[in-house]
Amino acid sequence: MHSTTAAPTVAIPQRTVRIVSRKSQLALIQTHWVRDELQRHFPTLDFEIVTMETQGDKVLDVSLSKIGDKGLFTQELEDTMLRGDSDFAVHSLKDLPTRLPEGLMLGCITERENPADALVMHEKNQDKTLATLPEGAVIGTSSLRRLAQLCHHYPHLTFKDIRGNLNTRLRKLDEGGYDGIILAVAGLQRMAMGDRIHEILPADISLHAVGQGALGIECRTGDDDILHLLSVLSHGPTTARCLAERAFLRELEGGCQVPIGVNTVIEGDTLTLTGLVASLDGQRVIKNTVAGAVTEAEALGDQLAQHLRAAGAQAILDEINATNRA
């Protein structure tokens, strides 16, 4: 994880700050990093971590796309903040809906790890790549975004849903249920499992999820003390990139049930945003790129969404939404 800059000199009243987190190992690694960074900057404050399970943690026998995405990994955490039982929540930003409950806000986005997707292979396939796996080889993923893009590029492969936390999915792979699985590079690196990465998928094969690789810290709207604390963790370039991505997703009203991928690059004062919408079978892929000033990040996201709608993405979205409602 990346270190942060020195804290601004603003007095914070002595208090215990309560951080709420999911119970998974990866969530706790991320939350402990946030706590330790804040403790380093604010040594006189006490920080307490509260853990809980979300609906997404409990329902493991149904694919994410069938459960719905409205706060699947966040609602229970949000409820504790709204009740005043916790002060902020640490999320993988890709799990945080683009529309937050009234009274809550995105207080901070941390510096991003590599946002790409990674292939982890079963040991019997160490001499293979996605492209050279035999026809019918089974690849595990719970993401419709990954599924659609990989179906498009590798129609010879078979794709099978896989749920559970990162350790559970790796165990299912090692037990032989899959020839390979697709996971986020960032999650593997944060859990010191980077050595399991067999192949990092380039953007021309798999555009990543909105916000992937960054942490989003959610807090109560207008809680100035907490917003001051969180400001030391904020990373400007990552924030601009992720706000563009989230605006793109919000304008398309997409989520877990829709194959939407993105890629962002900042060079100087210019932000370049690429996005796609794909049909579930990967047969139709609508893709485009926009570029503009970093300061106009959210407007760029809106602009790209409108371009894709005009190019045929709306028809795909309507079909998928109709299927989900059926």
Distance CA(301)–CA(179), nearest Å, equals: 36
- Mean pLDDT confidence for 309-319: 92
Query: What is the rounded distance in angstroms from the CA atom of residue 104 to the CA atom of residue 133?
Result: 46
Domains of the chain: 16-112+212-234 (3.40.190.10), 117-200 (3.40.190.10), 247-325 (3.30.160.40)
> 121 or 73: whose pLDDT is higher?
121
The answer to whether the CB of 18 falls within 8 A of the CB of 25 is no
Q: Mean pLDDT, the chain, as a whole number?
A: 91
Parallel/antiparallel/unpaired status of strands 199-200 and 117-121? antiparallel
Tens-digit pLDDT profile for residues 108-141: 999 999 999 999 999 999 999 999 999 999 999 9
The residues annotated with a catalytic role in the active site are 95
CA distances from 62 to 27, 158, 161, 163, 164 (A): 21, 19, 9, 8, 11
Q: Tell me, what amino acid is at 116?
A: A
pTM: 0.90
> How many other C-beta atoms can be found within 10 angstroms of the C-beta atom of residue 266?
17
267-277 residue pLDDT tens: 999 999 999 99
Residue 18 has pLDDT above 80, yes or no: yes
